[in-house]
Amino acid sequence: MKAAQGNRLSGESSPYLRQHAQNPVDWFPWGPEALTRARNEDKPIFLSIGYSACHWCHVMERESFEDPLIASVLNENFICIKVDREERPEIDQIYMLAVQMLTGHGGWPMSVFLHPDQKPFFGGTYFPPEDRYGRPGFLRLVRSIANLWKNQREELVSKGNRISKSIDDYQNRGILSGSESTTEPTMALVDVALKQLSASYDRVHGGFGEAPKFPHPMDIRFLLQAGSRRNDESLLKMATHSLTRMARGGIFDHLKGGFARYSTDRIWLVPHFEKMLYDNALLIAAYTEGWQLTREPLFQSTVEQTIDWILSEMTDEGGGFYSAIDADSEDEEGKFYVWPQEEIRSTLGPDKYPIFEKAYGVSTEGNWEGNNILRIAGTPEELFSENPGSRQTSPGQIRDALEECKILLLNIRNSRIRPGLDNKVLTSWNGLTIRALALAGRVFDRPDWVDAAKVAARFLLEHVRDTDGIWHHSWSRISGPKHNAVLEDFSFLLDGLIELALVDPAGCWSEEAIRLAKSMTDNFFDPQTNTFFFTANDHEPLLVRPRESSDQATPSATAMAITGLYRLGRLTQDDNFLKISWMALCAHAQLMAKNPQSMSQMIMVVESWLSGDGEWIIFGLDKNTRAGRALAARYQGMNLFLNGDEAGSFKLVQDKSARGDQPTLYVCKNGACEAPRMGAEAIEAFTNTY
């Protein structure tokens, strides 16, 4: 049974909120109306947080929020608020911490019960409609809480106060006042973080920890950076082995490209089928850097396929990038992506099927619930060496045959009912994608990728920043720009604009990056503690003003603010940006020492800063020459690579030029430059050293 006219979510722009618009639950979006109603009616708040691509969110909706009895109990006893965690990351961050404190774990859907003053007193994730899986039934739960609210409220008030204080204490853990935060990070901190990563590394299947297994792109990029600088093959192997196993596994979409959010098992076979923009942006950067250090063809093809998927399926006509594709279609998780053996056989026919079967591990019984999740069971090179007498006479012919098979299967898949698309454009995730496209475009000499990054950046500047210069977090064709920008919007986009400034120094990107950085420090930096808040000075009052120091699925917003200011300060030679970045690193030194494995993005900056990363400035070198391509493809880490012929406005290049009509490379560090490397041969020799 569904509401005939729809509830208040009918007018919302978020695809996730609109999914719930026909529920019989009397949902409110988060805002003054709901909070005021809770106070005036003296009712607790039931806060449900999820996102459009979330499988278990859909399950809980079907089981509980579409149930008229459960809806009637909720409507009578609670003010029910539905939040899209992607639209309101600051709210999600606060109450995810509450649920983790209450239960020891978190996830979505998130179900939290609050006092009208926003203090949480009970929470969890998915609840079945009746007792099941060792979890209390949702109907029994809401009736019990309603009874406690009426008859034992003192207990709930006390619990809410305790949890709220714990949240506040957690936000300020390890944070000292500016005058006290004199501890400076050291290379010993980097060593401890690397040891912890090594201890959690899965030497058989790659990645870190047990199932469910997430890609950990920040950890992989940290290992690549530290391993290349130290010439440590063991660190590099952890990163490249993980990249290889993920790219060969079922977590990667081998027909169209793009990674699912995580693997439900240890071996990267069975994904949780939702595809998120942020995962793929971060992994494009990781695979690009992995290719720079290995020249592994699998890494390059993974980047190419992932970017092709983003540009063909995740790009708005205006140039911004959409957020996610659902895990479910036709109420079944993964149905769009999996294959019965017979469907593959009948599509490919007897000539093509055998080689595809071997390449992608297809079997009669399948590898997941009677179906086949495609994975790379054998590369063209492996298949050729195993079957030298096959009809294909070279690995290249095998590769061509497999590409033909993939086109045939993709045509069949495209005729299926597609999973839902979350077509809102988020500033933060677009910033990550702009950075990834600009980096990959330079490294692989793909100006079309760089152009896509430029178009997306212009789209954000013109449509998500309003005429008063105010940035917003979200945009959609229904709503236009919406919701206050938070720290991750500023810091992720800052990194993207810096990468564009490096690949297109004659553009407006450095000026826009400077403007964004100044606004970020003015509105989010706390000089009392030398840290960053997640919300701006003028943000609406919430339970607490959150900070974000640890990496999650994305790098922490604070770490990215530090990263952006560190890179921008060197690029523009603005000491104030460098000063704020260093002070923030010092303010987090104790926290990094206690929790190094959850702070890889920040520790990457420590490693770069203490090792003395610098700037590479090139003059007079055609990028299409062998030396030009070699230099563009060379692993750079956090070194800044700049074409001086196009970057005349940068102080960094104003006293430098080509020498003697020869291509000239300046390698600078800590404000000093080595003797210029002159001539294509000298430059090419530089590309063979770190």
Mind listing the pLDDT tens digit for each residue in 399-444?
Answer: 999 999 999 999 999 999 999 999 999 999 999 999 999 999 999 9
- Spell out the residues 6+ positions from residue 573 whose beta carbon is closer than 8 angstroms to its own: 651, 652
Q: pLDDT tier at 661 (50, 70, 90 boundaries)?
A: confident
pLDDT at 3: 43
Encode pLDDT of 29-57 as tens digits.
999 999 999 999 999 999 999 999 999 99
Segment 218-229 shows an average pLDDT of 97
| Cis? peptide before 136, omega within 30° of 0 | no
pLDDT number for residue 362: 97
Residues 6+ apart with CB under 8 A from 453: 433, 434, 435, 437, 438, 441, 496, 499, 500
Residue 593: name the closest of 545, 549, 548, 534 by CA: 549
Average pLDDT over residues 125-130: 94
Q: Encode pLDDT of 163-184 as tens digits.
A: 999 999 888 776 665 555 568 9
326 has pLDDT over 80: yes
What is d(CA 259, CA 248) in angstroms, rounded to the nearest whole number?
11
- Residue 1: band (very low, low, confident or very high) from pLDDT cuts 50, 70, 90: very low
Residue-wise pLDDT for 342-385, tens only, equals 999 999 999 999 999 999 999 999 999 999 999 999 999 999 88
Task: Compute the Cα dihedral for 645, 646, 650, 652 and give only its sign.
Answer: negative
The pair of three-digit structure tokens given for residue 159, joined into one six-digit string: 């619990």
pLDDT band at 2 (very low <50, low <70, confident <90, very high): very low
Helices (H), 295-388: 297-313, 341-360, 380-386
pLDDT in the model for residue 23 = 97
**Is pLDDT above 60 for 239?**
yes
Closest CA to 116 of 46, 65, 49: 46
CB burial class (10 A; 0-12, 13-18, 19+) of residue 353? middle
- CB atoms under 10 Å from CB of 200, counted, come to 14
Relative orientation angle of helices 277-294 and 427-443, to the nearest 10 degrees: 20
Question: Comparing 461 with 392, which gets the higher pLDDT?
Answer: 461
Residue 170, pLDDT score: 87
Q: Is 647 exposed, middle or buried (0-12, 13-18, 19+ CB in 10 A)?
A: buried
User: What is the per-residue pLDDT for 373?
Assistant: 98
User: Is the pLDDT score of 107 beyond 50?
Assistant: yes
Residue 88 has pLDDT above 90, yes or no: yes
Share of the chain above pLDDT 90, in %: 89
Average pLDDT over residues 562-586: 96
Per residue, what are the HEC states of 171-240? HCCCCCCCCCCCCCCCHHHHHHHHHHHHHHECCCCCCECCCCECCCHHHHHHHHHHHHHHCCHHHHHHHH
Beta carbons within 10 angstroms of residue 508's beta carbon: 16
pLDDT grade, residue 580 (50/70/90)? very high
* Mean pLDDT confidence for 512-521: 98
Q: Tell me the per-residue pLDDT of 596-652, one tens digit each, with 9 for 90 and over.
A: 989 999 999 999 999 988 999 999 999 889 999 999 999 999 999 999 999 888 988
Distance from C-alpha of 336 to C-alpha of 226, rounded to nearest angstrom: 40
Q: Which string of DSSP letters, residue by residue, matches 489-526?
A: HHHHHHHHHHHHHHH-TTSSHHHHHHHHHHHHHHHHEE
Token duo for residue 107? 């996830």
Q: What is the mean pLDDT of residues 285-300?
A: 97
469-515 pLDDT per residue, tens: 999 999 999 999 999 999 999 999 999 999 999 999 999 999 999 99
Closest CA to 92 of 548, 601, 598: 548
Mean pLDDT (whole number) for 259-268: 97
pTM (predicted TM-score): 0.95
Q: What is the CATH number of domain 188-200+292-324+422-611?
A: 1.50.10.10
Distance, CA of 22 to CA of 295 (rounded, Å) = 52
Whole-number Å distance between alpha carbons of 211 and 314: 28
Least-confidence region, from 76-85, 177-186, 304-313:
177-186
Q: What percentage of residues in the chain have a pLDDT greater than 70?
A: 97
**Confidence category of residue 132, pLDDT binned at 50, 70, 90:** confident
Mean of per-residue pLDDT scores for the chain: 94
Tell me which of 3.30.565.10, 3.40.30.10, 3.40.1190.20, 3.30.365.10 is the CATH number of domain 8-171.
3.40.30.10
pLDDT at position 309 over 70: yes
The alpha carbon of 528 is separated from its chain's Cα centroid by a whole number of angstroms, namely 30
